[in-house]
């Protein structure tokens, strides 16, 4: 059963007061207080879908194995031993689904690789306090390691669906990390402005209409098809 969890990790005194059952929060307030964890807002109170220890702060820094147990199946990233959750809104989720569907259809006709969703990567085997999770990953056949539960090489194409509060500096830093660990392209997809940027090791380009990739021969998708749900025909 879902339980109400007061998250005290790094919260100021007034923020702790705001999580009191006697105070009703708006969605915006709750989103800030949740620190990225997935939650529901019921009668102004934060409700987490999974039990979590009230003294979670005492567990920092977490190793990947510890975080994986605490996450209870929820996708996360581990940065400096801290679990980072992202709450996808409607636009983010829809774009991820539509782009993923286009890629699956492509690989059905050209089986040169695979598209995977929210796969966790252990890019620093010597460091148990770090992991990363692109929204979508494209791994070409020559780099597939099906025996690896959590790949140790970044995907050939790492795809990040931009959230409304994402900072470009953070996104570029993450792209740089992917390149250092083996990626050949990084796609930054913006469902709010309805455009995207494709980065390589040596260049970056805006995509405003048609998405192509040198790594995916024959792949061609109109951006409107990943930002707008297909109309139904009567």
Maximum average pLDDT range among 64-68, 73-77, 144-148: 144-148
- pLDDT (0 to 100) of residue 147: 82
State the average pLDDT over residues 63-85.
Answer: 75
- pLDDT (0 to 100) of residue 56: 45
What is the distance between the alpha carbons of residues 120 and 91, in angstroms, rounded to a whole number?
Answer: 22
Q: By three-state DSSP, how is residue 9 classified?
A: coil
Residue 77 token pair:
């990233």
| Whether pTM exceeds 0.75 | no
Phi, psi of 175 (to 5 degrees): -60, -45
What are the contacts of 224-232 at 24+ separation with CB within 8 A?
Answer: 224/194, 225/98, 225/102, 226/95, 226/98, 226/99, 226/102, 226/189, 227/95, 227/98, 227/191, 227/194, 229/94, 229/98
pLDDT digits (tens, 9 = 90+) for 80-99: 777 777 777 899 999 999 99
Name the pLDDT band for 41 (thresholds 50, 70, 90): low
Q: Which of 165, 133, 136 is nearest to 150 (CA)?
A: 133
* CATH number for region 90-227: 3.90.1570.10
DSSP state, 22? T
Q: Where are the domains of the chain?
A: 13-84, 90-227
pLDDT digits (tens, 9 = 90+) for 169-213: 889 999 999 999 999 999 999 999 999 999 999 999 999 999 999
Q: What is the DSSP string of 114-181?
A: EEEES--B---TT-TT-BB--SEEEEEGGG--TT-SS-SS--SEEEEEPPTT--HHHHHHHHHHHHHT
């Amino acid at each position: 059963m879902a339980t109400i969890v007061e998250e005290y990790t790094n919260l100021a005194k007034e923020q702790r007061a705001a999580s009191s059952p006697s105070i009703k929060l708006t969605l915006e307030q709750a989103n800030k207080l949740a620190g990225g964890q997935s939650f529901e807002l019921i009668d102004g109170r934060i409700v987490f879908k999974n039990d979590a220890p009230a003294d979670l702060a005492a567990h920092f820094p977490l190793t990947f194995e510890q975080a994986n147990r605490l996450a209870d199946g929820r996708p996360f990233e581990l940065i400096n031993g801290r679990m980072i959750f992202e709450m996808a809104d409607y636009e983010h989720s829809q774009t991820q689904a539509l782009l993923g569907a286009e890629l699956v259809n492509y690989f059905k006709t050209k089986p040169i690789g695979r598209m995977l969703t929210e796969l966790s990567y252990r890019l620093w085997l010597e460091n148990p306090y770090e992991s990363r999770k692109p929204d979508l990953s494209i791994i070409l056949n020559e780099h597939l390691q099906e025996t690896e539960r959590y790949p140790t090489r970044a995907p050939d194409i790492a795809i990040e669906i931009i959230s409304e509060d994402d900072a470009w500096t953070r996104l570029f830093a993450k792209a740089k990390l992917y390149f250092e660990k083996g990626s050949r392209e990084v796609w930054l997809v913006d469902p709010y402005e309805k455009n995207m940027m494709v980065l390589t090791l040596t260049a970056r380009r805006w995509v405003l209409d048609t998405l192509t990739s040198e790594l995916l021969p024959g792949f061609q998708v109109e951006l409107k098809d990943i930002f707008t749900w297909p109309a139904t025909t009567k």
